[in-house]
């Protein structure tokens, strides 16, 4: 919206905001979404009063908490995957996280916390560069082109998705991110190279 603001007059912008608000309001009132919201609130309430931490959200909160604890123990290079699993077990035994969650071997359900706990600051910095350098290319070169906008949106959406999932712990996540990045970056880099050759 910001990049294409010249194409939107006040009437169009107002119409779009009202439409989005109505659609969002209608969707939030559907039984399925309302049930999921209620379930999420119940999970958080159960976690906060210690009545049941082994729920869908309770497990995630403990996994995030465990990842932060592991990072604090190994801040520079991380603990490695096996070290993170051992750290999680000891956190469960000490009562830092729920004992049932401590026996789970899978990732932290957050790519940023996963990288911090397993690879430390070095791995976290590498992850940020994996997002920010391509984003810099898309926003710097022909930023008003549709390809640049699609590339930027692809990266920002993946960054958001990484908040609730360890995307790069799965082959499908790596393939999807990299393939879309190559497809969207190729025309921009090709055009930039041709422009450079003409200037020579």
Averaged pLDDT for residues 135-141: 86
Identify the CA nearest to 155 among candidates 138, 175, 172: 138
| Confidence tier at 62 by pLDDT (50, 70, 90) | very high
- Mean residue pLDDT of the chain comes to 91
Closest CA to 87 of 55, 154, 23, 101: 101
pLDDT confidence band for 141 (50 / 70 / 90): low
Class of residue 62 by CB neighbours under 10 A (exposed 0-12, middle 13-18, buried 19+): buried
How much is the pLDDT for 189?
A: 80
Confidence at residue 195, expressed as pLDDT on a 0 to 100 scale = 66
For the segment 101-117, the average pLDDT, to the nearest whole number, is 95
The predicted-structure confidence for 156-186, as pLDDT tens digits, reads as follows 999 999 999 999 999 999 999 999 999 999 9
Question: What is the model's pTM?
Answer: 0.86
């Amino acid at each position: 919206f910001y990049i294409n603001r010249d194409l939107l007059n006040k009437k169009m912008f107002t119409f779009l905001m009202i439409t989005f608000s109505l659609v969002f309001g209608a969707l939030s009132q559907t039984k399925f979404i309302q049930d999921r919201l209620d379930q999420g609130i119940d999970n958080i309430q159960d976690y906060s009063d210690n009545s049941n931490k082994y729920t869908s959200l309770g497990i995630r909160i403990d996994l995030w908490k465990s990842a932060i604890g592991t990072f604090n123990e190994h801040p520079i290079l991380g603990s490695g995957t096996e070290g993170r699993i051992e750290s999680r077990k000891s956190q469960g035994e000490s009562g830092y996280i729920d004992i049932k969650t401590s026996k789970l071997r899978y990732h932290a359900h957050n790519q940023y916390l996963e990288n911090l706990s397993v690879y430390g600051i070095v791995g976290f910095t590498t992850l940020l560069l994996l997002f920010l350098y391509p984003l810099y290319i898309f926003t710097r070169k022909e930023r008003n082109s549709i390809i640049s906008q699609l590339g930027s949106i692809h990266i920002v959406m993946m960054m958001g998705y990484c908040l609730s999932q360890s995307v790069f712990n799965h082959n499908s996540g790596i393939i999807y991110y990299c393939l879309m990045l190559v497809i969207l970056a190729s025309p921009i880099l090709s055009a930039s190279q041709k422009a450079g050759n003409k200037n020579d």
